[in-house]
């Protein structure tokens, strides 16, 4: 349970991020909902979280902006008495084959998915180090482990998140801070909604459980890793993929 814990979730307005925010709230935790641009979606996440009787506040932020991350973390510390957990979920895609991929396509995805994860850990970890406790959960992907045609930028960013996770876990462990990653597979979100039925069917043929995952199934794992029950788990990359990457 996460009762009275204060947790930051980036990319918290929709999809997996929203599911994580609501799972935290359901378990009694307060949530700082960090989002990039959809004001209405962020407000809806806050409204839904507050139904559980917890505190929820939204913060607009481009996580790829180092100084902006520092500023927003400072704002969060004024609104919440502690920061007990951080979920780095913010992510973007710009899929295309290598020969068509532009430098802008590559940089945009790496800046949000990878640098954004670094930026938030950089500014939140000193707070956790002083408190001598904390939980960090980073969102990787199965394609960060296996690679995927048409996703060189996304795969690279998510593989980098694995490296950040393991390195941060080693650095922060002496102060009681854990850092783990989740690697979702084919999950029903706005990103996968863009795929055609034929593309979805082709992917599902490779999933042993023969179905798409639900964002709430990822949120369940995130909540566990944020809890006291996961105090002796760190540096791990846990797949939620229906057996896609066995």
> CA nearest 148: which of 110, 185, 191?
185
> CA nearest 157: which of 189, 119, 121, 115?
115
- The first and second tokens of residue 199, run together, are 């593309």
> CA nearest 224: which of 34, 85, 55?
85
Q: Do β-strands 6-10 and 56-60 pair in parallel, antiparallel, or remain unpaired?
A: unpaired
Tokens 């990103």 belong to 191
Task: Give me the phi and psi of 148, to 5 degrees please.
Answer: -160, 130
> CA nearest 87: which of 173, 165, 188?
165
For the question of residue 154 being annotated catalytic, the response is yes
CA distance 1 to 29: 8
- The first and second tokens of residue 76, run together, are 């969060």
Count the Cβ atoms, other than its own, within 10 Å of residue 60: 15
Q: Which of 35, 59, 106, 154 is catalytic?
A: 154
Active-site residue set: 154
């Amino acid at each position: 349970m996460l009762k009275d814990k204060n947790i930051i979730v980036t990319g918290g307005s929709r999809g997996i991020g929203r599911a994580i925010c609501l799972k935290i709230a359901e378990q009694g935790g307060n949530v700082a909902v960090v989002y990039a641009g959809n004001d209405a979606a962020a407000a809806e996440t806050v409204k839904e979280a507050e139904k559980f009787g917890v505190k929820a506040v939204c913060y607009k932020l481009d996580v790829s902006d180092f100084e902006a991350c520092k500023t927003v973390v400072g704002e969060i510390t004024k609104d919440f008495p502690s920061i007990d957990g951080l979920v780095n979920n913010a992510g973007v895609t710009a899929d295309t084959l290598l020969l068509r991929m532009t430098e802008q396509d590559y940089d945009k995805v790496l800046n949000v998915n990878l640098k954004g994860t670094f930026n938030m850990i950089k500014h939140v970890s000193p707070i956790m180090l002083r408190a001598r406790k904390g939980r960090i959960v980073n969102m990787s992907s199965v394609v960060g482990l296996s690679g995927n045609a048409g996703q060189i930028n996304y795969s690279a960013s998510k593989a980098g998140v694995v490296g950040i996770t393991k390195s941060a876990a080693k650095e922060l462990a002496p102060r009681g801070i854990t850092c783990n990653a989740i690697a979702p597979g084919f999950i029903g979100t706005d990103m996968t909604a863009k795929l055609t039925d034929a593309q979805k069917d082709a992917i599902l043929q490779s999933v042993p459980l023969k179905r798409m995952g639900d964002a709430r199934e990822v949120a369940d794992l995130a909540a566990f890793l944020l809890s006291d029950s996961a105090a002796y788990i760190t540096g791990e990359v846990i797949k939620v993929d229906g057996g896609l990457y066995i």
